[in-house]
Amino acid sequence: MSNEQYNPNQPHQPGQQQGAQGQPPHYTQRVSYAPPPPPARRGRTGFWILAFLLAVSLVGNFLLLMAVMVLVRGGPSEGREQKLQEVVVESADTSKRIALLRIEGIIVEELSGRLTPSGADYEFVKKQVDQIIADERVKAVVVVVNSPGGGASASDMILKQLRRLRDERGLPVVVQMGSLAASGGYYVAMAGEYIFAQPTTITGSIGVVAQFFSLENLLSEKLGVETYIIESGERKTVGSPFRDMTQEEYGYLQETIVMPMYERFIEVIMEGRKSLDESELREVADGRIMNADQAKTLGLIDAVGFREDAIEYAKGRARLKEATIVQYQRQVGLLDVLGLSAGRAAPDMSISADTLQRMAAPRVLMQWMP
């Protein structure tokens, strides 16, 4: 069958079929027809599968976290003190040990914040001491000090703990000063019977400093806030951050707080360095810093050397030819990172009157403050 179209103006040609009753001939045209494709599915099945898997994962992780929190807070370990993790620094073919006790960073009574690797808080030092005393394999201790000092009370508390090593176990205690062992860092070093300092160690800074903040100008001139204080005695609010200090109050605080703690500092040094002459000590105990050679000349340390020298000396004092060297560190888990561990409060980020009071509270420090 021909596919050409019919043209009514074209005359009829022979051989073409005449339509009925004189109508134009009928032509049949074959047209190919394909049904339209079905609408494509837009991945709805895959979307719902992914959504389901995500929901299952979230629920599972939540349940796992809750289970871990229950175990940490209310499990069998609740009420029991968690031990520090023991790390072998140098292994030897013997069970006898020398412990490295680290005091690193600013000396404080307790940590604040969620994740603080500092090793100079009282709690961490006490745990190290407790663990060393309980371990009969430890025959000597090397106290590694790398600190500018810190709180006066915290330094005194840590010194008391370090003295337990000799008083309760009779352990030889050797101090090795790192890059910095000043003020309170030198104060705690007085627990050692022999002190090494690296050639580049900064030490000294013997003295006490008290810091008081005044918010009077900030409140009255900047914020327009007036503070009224009613006190039972004229010295009840000495050092208050809400008013300026008078010269008489300045002298009173120096006499009452700073100088007695300074005398305590001198007393502790004389107990730890019996060969020192007190009058010569007072001449250099004016807050000045010094290097290792100067400190050795003055008798504030015994030798210039590194940690290996301190360890070898400790071996000799413990009569050991070889020893396994160990140290201790906190066990930090996921909950510590998240601030959810038991007994560890999240830092207070709110700005309240109580927060301002704590920020402005006076601080008495044995700390090198360049």
Active site residues: 183, 236
* C-alpha closest to that of 181 among 88, 295, 79: 295
One-letter identity of residue 69: M
The count of C-alpha atoms lying within 13 angstroms of the C-alpha of 60, restricted to the half-sphere facing its C-beta, is 6
Q: Tell me, what DSSP letter sits at residue 180?
A: E
The count of C-alpha atoms lying within 13 angstroms of the C-alpha of 315, restricted to the half-sphere facing its C-beta, is 15
One-letter identity of residue 191: A
Per the CB < 8 A criterion, the answer to whether 330 and 86 are in contact is no
Distance between alpha carbon 71 and the CA centroid of its chain, in Å?
24
The 3-state DSSP class for residue 362 equals: coil
Per the CB < 8 A criterion, the answer to whether 141 and 165 are in contact is yes
| DSSP secondary structure letters along 245-289 | PPHHHHHHHIIIIIHHHHHHHHHHHHHH-TTS-HHHHHHH-SS-E
Tokens of 10: 């074209």
Q: Tell me, what DSSP letter sits at residue 238?
A: T
Question: Residues 8, 11, 16, 17: is their CA dihedral positive or negative?
Answer: positive
The 3-state DSSP class for residue 85 equals: strand
Neighbours of 95 (CB within 10 A): 9
Token pair 């079929």: residue:
17
- Residues, the chain: 370
Within 8 A by CB and 6+ apart from 245, the residues are 212, 214, 238, 239, 253
* C-alpha closest to that of 141 among 315, 320, 274: 315
